[in-house]
């Protein structure tokens, strides 16, 4: 049935070290924007695998997810592309591991470590309206164990 609502599933990583958060600066159709390391869920991967992959691709850093900060829904309308998309975002908190010598994903200009106040001061440059909300929820201690998430083996096998 073509009328079934299908939001776009994304993941994001909250990586904090000594009061600063790892963000990326990226080129988008709406100009240069700031975001947490984030991206789309790919076929045959769990949400945790997706956030680890996206963080590595966008920052060249290993990401070790420790908890789920929240699940967020937002709508994006692009006048330049005449697109209207609803996103369902799973935001994870975790720690940064090794840094690898590899190029960043296409469109990623650089990584940046920013304080919460610096992030708040740049809200007009955020890729998503929930970038700051995710940081604030993390700072408020909002956290759920990863055991809340379950990925059935059929996802990895290509379905039943």
Span 22-55, pLDDT tens digits: 999 999 988 999 999 999 999 999 999 999 999 9
The hierarchical CATH code for the domain 8-147 is 3.90.79.10
Q: How is 128-150 classified by DSSP, letter by letter?
A: STTHHHHHHHHHTT--EEGGG--
Handedness of CA 49, 37, 43, 67 (dihedral sign): positive
The pTM for the full model equals 0.92
- In this prediction, residue 134 has a pLDDT band, given cuts at 50, 70 and 90, of very high
Span 140-158, pLDDT tens digits: 999 999 999 999 999 998 6
Q: How is 78-119 classified by DSSP, letter by letter?
A: ETTTTEEEEEEEEEEEEEEEEE-S-PPPTTEEEEEEE-HHHH
């Amino acid at each position: 049935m073509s009328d079934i609502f299908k939001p776009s599933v994304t993941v994001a990583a909250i990586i904090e070290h000594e009061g600063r958060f790892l963000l990326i600066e990226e080129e988008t159709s709406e100009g240069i924007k700031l975001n947490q390391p984030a991206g789309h869920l790919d076929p045959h991967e769990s949400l945790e695998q997706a956030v680890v992959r996206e963080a590595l691709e966008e920052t060249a850093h290993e990401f070790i997810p420790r908890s789920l900060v929240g699940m967020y829904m937002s709508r994006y309308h692009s006048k330049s592309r005449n697109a209207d998309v609803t996103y369902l975002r799973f935001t994870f908190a975790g720690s940064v591991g090794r840094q690898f010598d590899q190029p960043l994903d296409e469109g990623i200009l650089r990584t940046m470590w920013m304080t919460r106040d610096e992030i708040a001061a740049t809200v007009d440059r955020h890729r998503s309206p929930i970038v700051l909300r995710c940081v604030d929820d993390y700072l408020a201690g909002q956290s759920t164990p990863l055991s809340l998430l379950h990925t059935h083996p059929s996802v990895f096998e290509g379905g039943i």
